[in-house]
Amino acid sequence: MTSLPPVLPEITFARVERLGRLHGTCVTYVAGFFALIAAMAGDYVAAIVGLLVAGAGVVEHHGAALLRRGEARGVSWLAGSQLFLFASIAAYCVVRLKVPVQFPPLPESLRPMVEMSAAQMKMSVADYQLFAYRLGLWLVLGLSVFYQGGLGWYYLSRRARVEAALAEPAEPDESESE
């Protein structure tokens, strides 16, 4: 079986820059939107964390902009943004796990299902709600470890090829040589 040739540094550079720009933009807008919603609802902890997450998106976008300008240090900004994003998510999860939570009343349409699920687990409805809430926070934290860690590793593992692409002289246009 033949193996595929390595990806050209220019293609790796384009992929890293595009991913950083796209992901940074999406994180910024989505987190900013939810920070606004949280602030309007009076949940200031979630609003602050949303702004921190949006800030991580801005950092990632800045790293992509540095790459576009030909600065290899943009890769460090991209990877650092993932560390900052993870730290923000982890801080939110830890705060929510430590602070007692007051659940709103269950809607009548969901009450039978929740009561049945709680009974199957031999729990009260309040204990079941707390269990589901904490499980959700642990899942977010675990997924964030893999997603932000994987994306940070992706950026760092392509640093050498990005630097190689930036070190190569730009090909002159044929129109300039005439």
Using the predicted structure, report yes or no on whether residue 15 has a pLDDT greater than 80: yes
Per-residue pLDDT, 161: 92
The CB-based long-range contact list for 63-70 (8 Å cut-off, 24+ gap) reads 63/20, 63/24, 64/17, 64/18, 64/20, 64/21, 64/24, 65/21, 67/13, 67/16, 67/17, 67/20, 67/162, 67/166, 68/17, 68/21, 70/166
How far is residue 151 from each of residues 99, 107, 158, measured CA to CA in Å? 30, 39, 11
Residue 73 pLDDT grade (very low, low, confident, very high; cuts 50, 70, 90): very high
Per-residue pLDDT, 62: 96
Segment among 29-43, 61-75, 100-114 with least mean pLDDT: 100-114
Residue 174 pLDDT grade (very low, low, confident, very high; cuts 50, 70, 90): low
> By the 8 A CB rule, do 79 and 67 touch?
no
Closest CA to 36 of 23, 26, 49: 49
CB hemisphere CA count around 56 (13 angstroms): 22
Using the predicted structure, report yes or no on whether residue 30 has a pLDDT greater than 90: yes
- pTM for the model stands at 0.84
In tens, the pLDDT along 81-125 reads 999 999 999 999 999 999 888 888 888 888 889 889 999 999 998
Q: How far is CA 156 from the centre of its chain?
A: 16
In tens, the pLDDT along 124-166 reads 988 999 999 999 999 999 999 999 999 999 999 999 999 999 8
